Amino acid sequence: MKILVIHGPNLNLLGSRETNIYGSKTLDEINDSLNTLAAELGLELVIHQSNHEGEIVDLIQSARRYSAIVINPAAYTHTSIAIRDAIAAVNIPAVEVHLSNIHEREEFRRRSLIAPAASGQISGFASESYLLGLRAAAFIANAKKSAS
| Contacts (Cβ under 8 Å, ≥6 apart) of 91 | none
Residue type, 98: H
- With contacts defined by CB under 6 A, how many residues of the chain interact with ligand DQA? 10
Q: Which parts of 46-65 interact with ligand DQA (CB under 6 A)? A: none
Q: Is 75 in the site for ligand DQA (CB under 6 A)?
A: yes
Which run of H or of E encompasses 136? helix 128-147
Whole-angstrom Cα Rg for the chain = 14
**DSSP class of residue 25?**
-
Give yes or no: 66 in active site: no
Gap between the Cα atoms of 131 and 39, Å rounded: 12
Least distance from ligand DQA to the Cβ atom of residue 107, Å: 12
Contact call for residue 74 and ligand DQA (CB under 6 A): yes
CA–CA dist 17, 81 (Å, integer):
26
Active site residue 78: no
Task: Write down the least CB distance from residue 90 to ligand DQA, Å.
Answer: 21
98 near ligand DQA, rule: CB under 6 A: yes
Query: Is 72 an interacting residue with respect to ligand DQA (CB under 6 A)?
Result: yes
Catalytic choice (7, 22, 66, 76): 22
Q: For residue 136, how many other CB atoms are within 10 A of its CB?
A: 20
Closest residue by Cα to residue 137 from 72, 49, 86: 72
**Looking at 33, 100, 128, 132, which residue binds ligand DQA (CB under 6 A)?**
100
Q: Which is nearer to ligand DQA, 49 or 72 (CB)?
A: 72
**What string of DSSP letters covers 30-41?**
HHHHHHHHHHHH
Q: Interface residues for ligand DQA in 9-28 (CB under 6 A)?
A: 10
Residues serving a catalytic function are 22, 98
Q: Which residues make up the interface to ligand DQA (CB under 6 A)?
A: 10, 72, 74-75, 77, 98-100, 102, 109
